[in-house]
């Protein structure tokens, strides 16, 4: 049923970026679409090395171990996120959420820090202005207690929404199509801004790849 909802929401349930597999059919760490140091000074190469190279890699390894020999082994990552529970859900959703997060960055370019195209129109229609959207999104990211994510999503009526999910939870499980996310687990920012989560959120706006967000609208 949740898979049907994903189809209704036009969420690709086997997107290439989410489903990189090796010859052994195991999920693999997808390539970063930029160099490790490309996001500096906003996100350091050291954070990328640990967050992408260690944390995400570990979620993928754990997921591979948990699906081996089970009914989940040949499902897409999206289908696993929609169907799994417990430890498998945690590792699969953390894989999905992280790939989604890392995919939507680009090196800072002053000409590209504002959204354009359809996403810009939708943000203005839903929130009044980009600044009002940024404020609401940053508030969701700042006030999420503990570990989790803040999201810009679109529901099946085409309305944009901002939401928070705790730990590994994902909007996919709640009938929302994710468009943009920020990881607010401490591992996402502690090497760079230590306890200052708001500074990390402020940095985030300098490196969002809005073209990727537009592509996600489909």
Residue number, 19 or 97, with CB nearest to Fe ion: 97
192 belongs to the binding site for Fe ion (CB under 5 A): no
Footprint on residues 128-157 left by Fe ion (CB under 5 A): none
Shortest reach from residue 85's CB to Fe ion, in Å: 21
189 belongs to the binding site for Fe ion (CB under 5 A): no
Q: Which stretch binds Fe ion (CB under 5 A): 2-10, 125-133, 177-185, 194-202?
A: 177-185
169 belongs to the binding site for Fe ion (CB under 5 A): no
Cis peptide before 14 (omega within 30 of 0): no
Rounded distance between C-alpha atoms, residue 177 and residue 10, angstroms: 8
66: which 2 tokens?
């948990």
Rounded distance between C-alpha atoms, residue 149 and residue 168, angstroms: 8
C-alpha dihedral sign at 68, 72, 77, 80? negative
25: which 2 tokens?
């059919």
204 belongs to the binding site for Fe ion (CB under 5 A): no
Q: Which stretch binds Fe ion (CB under 5 A): 38-46, 67-75, 156-164, 180-188?
A: 180-188
79 belongs to the binding site for Fe ion (CB under 5 A): no
x-or-dash pattern for Fe ion, window 10-39, by CB under 5 A?
------------------------------
Instruction: List Cα–Cα distances, 99 to 17, 31, 103, 131, 149, in angstroms.
Output: 8, 10, 6, 26, 13
DSSP tag of 186:
G
Which positions lie near Fe ion, rule CB under 5 A?
183, 185, 188
């Amino acid at each position: 049923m949740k898979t049907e909802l994903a189809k209704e929401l036009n969420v690709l349930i086997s997107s290439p970026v989410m489903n990189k597999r090796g010859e052994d059919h195991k999920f693999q760490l997808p390539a970063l679409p930029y160099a490790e140091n490309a996001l500096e000074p906003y996100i350091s190469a050291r954070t990328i090395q640990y967050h992408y190279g260690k944390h995400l890699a570990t979620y993928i390894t754990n997921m591979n171990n948990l699906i081996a020999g089970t009914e989940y082994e040949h499902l897409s990552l999206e289908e696993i996120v929609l169907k799994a529970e417990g430890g498998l859900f945690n590792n699969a959703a953390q894989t999905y959420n992280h790939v989604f997060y890392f995919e939507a960055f680009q090196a800072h370019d002053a000409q590209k820090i504002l959204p354009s195209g359809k996403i810009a129109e939708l943000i203005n229609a839903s929130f009044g202005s980009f600044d009002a959207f940024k404020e609401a999104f940053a508030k969701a990211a700042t006030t999420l207690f503990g570990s989790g994510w803040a999201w810009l999503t679109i529901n099946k009526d085409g309305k944009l929404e901002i939401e928070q999910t705790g730990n590994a939870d994902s909007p996919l499980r709640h009938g929302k199509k994710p468009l943009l996310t920020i990881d607010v687990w401490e591992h996402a920012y502690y090497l760079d801004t230590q306890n200052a989560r708001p500074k990390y959120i402020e940095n985030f706006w300098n490196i969002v790849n809005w073209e990727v967000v537009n592509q996600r609208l489909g």
